[in-house]
Amino acid sequence: MSPATLDSKVPTGVPLADAWTRHKFDLPLVNPSNRRKFTVLVVGTGLAGSSAAASLAEMGYNVKAFCIQDSPRRAHSIAAQGGINAAKNYKSDGDSVHRLFYDTVKGGDYRAREHNVHRLAEASVSIIDQCVAQGVPFAREYGGLLDNRSFGGAQVSRTFYARGQTGQQLLLGAYGALNRQISAGRVEMKTRCEMVDVVNVDGVARGIITRDLQTGEFERHAGDAVLLCTGGYGNVFYLSTNAKACNVTAAWRAHKRGAYFANPCYTQIHPTCIPVSGHYQSKLTLMSESLRNDGRVWVPKTQGDTRSPEQIPDADRDYYLERRYPSFGNLVPRDVASRNAKAVCDDGKGVGSTGLAVFLDFRDAIQRDGRDTIAAKYGNLFQMYERITGEDPYSVPMRIFPAVHYTMGGLWVDYNLQSNLPGLFVLGEANFSDHGANRLGASALMQGLADGYFVVPATITSHLAGASMQAVSTSDDAFAEAEAASRDRFQKLLSVRGSRSVDQFHRELGQICWDKCGMARNQAGLTSALSEIRALREAYWQDVNVLGDGASLNQNLEHAGRVADFMEFAELMVGDALHREESCGGHFREEYQTEEGEAQRNDEAFTYAAAWEHKGDGQSHELHKESLTFDNVKLTTRSYK
């Protein structure tokens, strides 16, 4: 394979600000009466999937959509709390498309593709218009205009929000649009239905194999394009803020059928989550990072200080973020805050029964502003914290610890959001394109909706209009082969009848990834993780215990299939982290840091996206590089001192 296959297809010879407009003009069109001749398969119904399915159906394409939950409305986009960025400049505080573009490229530590990011910033404006028209109840000021707040260290107020439930409201808006098309007969919706393979015919993605989770039946679906909108892979770590069913299966199956996986080592660890309380812990809960506006982060100065926090005088407390980063203090970016929490806990100063937590203390804010003011700002978060931990954060400092939250890596896509596998498009968190090595707050919702509402409906013609596509039938050999392979895999899982549960294996895999490919990574740890993962995977297929049968609802079998894919994916993630000999964004290699302990990029050697090609089971992946060029921003070192 030559690197020429990694053509990003960004428009050349056009100024960045005009590139998307020009590209849309240059794309071929499919006329309205011809659109009904095409069938598009949309996998996943979060923000990206719902918005894409609805928009394509409105345009006249036939759409079949699939989700694993009992309703499209339950996709994990629903859990996003904070907000969605848009360069509306309604506050007249100097925001612009260019500034949002600039902030996002810089926030991504210069590892994203400029053209995609600029297009994202452009689309942000239309997203807000679209959502308001759908009846999304964004927060408003008394004059009836939309309210904004600041977020994630940006110096402008550009974040639109619907209380602490912005993701829910945006998803329900997109789900409404999808419902309208289902009702019109333009979208066929399959729920509790999991994609288990992609089918290629003559090197083009022409269909998928699904497994009905209620009946266990395998089905073949043919189409003219496949859109994967299946989210991120954070659950490879077992514990994360992701929903329990989030998985890498669709992306990984597509990868094994030829789609390159890019930058899997870019994972985001969110600093403010409720810590683990015991071995039974099933997931972690995020506490909005807005808490760091008023809460002060500290640990006791000496190891083994077991006094209760209110008994520890200021002189014996280490407000380590304020000490190390006097100008940003507690408001340093997510990756920096997370790494520092890990460092103090590694140093034996962590608090709580596990020693894996730091305090987030509102004592001073309550003294300064009064309890009522703090309650008005954070009341619902304090209540959620108390419900989970049984402690009252008004009188006892919160205990927090970082947790896996989002994954920037994903399937490689070009400017059209098409993977290297023709006919396969990838949207939202499932692709790698817009956030580089670190995502800024309130940008995930923006990307999911930009991809679904505005990008793919325009770019899908690059695939559909050009090719003279042969009709495919689900009786084609390629469908039969893919279905048989899927059946075998599930049958095999059912037939092991070993001694350890799927959950035990998943936890063990998660622990390896968290310890050795988490907030800080080094060569020795990553190398040992590779062999540990291989050994665990082998043990999995020898000793996993999956009960029941494949002919009815079997949640244990569903989980087993997903963990099997995580077992393979984890090796690629760790391998990517090992190969990237620099620190950038969410990827911190201990060998590559400044004297002050900050991330040190190596722009000369690593200003590229690493896209990995699957060469067969047991074979090494082949690396393809997409060089990243920065013509519109200057590469600098982020500093928060």
Partner 1 sequence: MGSSSTETKMMRLNVEIWRQAGPSDGGGFESYKVEASPDMSFLEMLDVLNEKLMADGREGIAFDHDCREGICGMCSLVINGQPHGPENETTTCQLHMRNYKDGDSITIEPFRATAFPIVKDLVIDRSAFDRILQAGGYISVNTGAAPDAHAVQVPKVQADLAMDAAACIGCGACVAACPNAAAMLFTAAKVSQLALLPQGQAERSSRAIAMVDQMDKEGFGACTNHYECMAACPKGITVENIARMNRDHLRASFTSRD
Q: Closer to partner 1 at the Cβ: 369 or 503?
A: 503
Binding string to partner 1 for residues 326 to 355, with x set by CB under 8 A, is what? ---------------------------xx-
Q: Which residues contact 461 (CB under 8 A, 6 or more apart)?
A: 27, 28, 29, 30
Q: Applying CB under 8 A, does 245 fall inside the site for partner 1?
A: yes
Q: Applying CB under 8 A, does 54 fall inside the site for partner 1?
A: yes
Q: Which of 39, 60, 98, 134 binds partner 1 (CB under 8 A)?
A: 134
Q: Which residues contact 137 (CB under 8 A, 6 or more apart)?
A: 162, 169
Q: Applying CB under 8 A, does 503 fall inside the site for partner 1?
A: yes
Q: Applying CB under 8 A, does 46 fall inside the site for partner 1?
A: no
Give the bridge partners for 501, in sequence order: 545
46-75 burial, b for 16+ CB within 10 Å, e for fewer? bbbbbbbbbbbbbbbbbbbbbbbbeebbbb
Q: Applying CB under 8 A, does 304 fall inside the site for partner 1?
A: no
Q: How far is the CB of 214 from partner 1 (least distance, A)?
A: 6
Q: How far is the CB of 324 from partner 1 (least distance, A)?
A: 31
Using CB under 8 A, which of the segments 222-230, 290-298, 545-553, 607-615 binds partner 1? Answer: 545-553
State the Cα–Cα distance between residues 220 and 245, nearest whole angstrom.
23
Q: How far is the CB of 284 from partner 1 (least distance, A)?
A: 9
State the Cα–Cα distance between residues 46 and 162, nearest whole angstrom.
17
Cα angle value 264/267/271 (rounded, 5°) = 175
Using CB under 8 A, which of the segments 3-11, 548-556, 565-573, 601-609 binds partner 1? Answer: 548-556
Q: Applying CB under 8 A, does 281 fall inside the site for partner 1?
A: yes
Q: Which of 61, 406, 453, 479 binds partner 1 (CB under 8 A)?
A: 453
Cα angle value 585/586/589 (rounded, 5°) = 90
Residue numbers 61-80 binding partner 1 by CB under 8 A: 69-74, 76, 78-79
Q: Which of 12, 33, 92, 183 binds partner 1 (CB under 8 A)?
A: 183
With CB under 8 A as the rule, give the number of residues binding partner 1. Answer: 83
C-alpha torsion sign, points 65, 69, 72, 75: negative
Going by C-alpha positions, the residue among 590, 112, 508 that lies closest to residue 339 is: 590
Going by C-alpha positions, the residue among 464, 454, 461 that lies closest to residue 427 is: 454
Active-site residue, from 119, 186, 334, 601: 334
Q: Closer to partner 1 at the Cβ: 376 or 524?
A: 376
Q: Which of 14, 17, 27, 146 binds partner 1 (CB under 8 A)?
A: 146
Residue numbers 352-381 binding partner 1 by CB under 8 A: 353-354
Q: Which residues contact 595 (CB under 8 A, 6 or more apart)?
A: none
Q: Which of 1, 547, 605, 635 binds partner 1 (CB under 8 A)?
A: 547
For the chain, the first-to-last Cα distance in angstroms comes to 45
Tokens at 466, concatenated: 């050009």
Q: Closer to partner 1 at the Cβ: 85 or 200?
A: 85
Q: Applying CB under 8 A, does 574 fall inside the site for partner 1?
A: no
Q: Applying CB under 8 A, does 4 fall inside the site for partner 1?
A: no
Rounded alpha-carbon distances, angstroms, from residue 158 to 78, 149, 166, 446, 536:
21, 6, 14, 12, 46
Mark whether 220 is an active-site residue. no
Q: Closer to partner 1 at the Cβ: 50 or 150?
A: 50
Q: Which of 27, 139, 331, 469 binds partner 1 (CB under 8 A)?
A: 139
Residue numbers 381-440 binding partner 1 by CB under 8 A: 384, 387-390
Contact 287, 401 (CB under 8 A): no
Which DSSP helix (H) or strand (E) runs through 504?
helix 502-517
Q: Closer to partner 1 at the Cβ: 153 or 498?
A: 498
Q: Which of 20, 454, 566, 592 binds partner 1 (CB under 8 A)?
A: 454
Q: Which of 154, 162, 259, 345 binds partner 1 (CB under 8 A)?
A: 162
State the Cα–Cα distance between residues 252 and 570, nearest whole angstrom.
11
Using CB under 8 A, which of the segments 9-17, 161-169, 312-320, 513-521 binds partner 1? Answer: 161-169
Q: Just list the catalytic residues.
A: 334
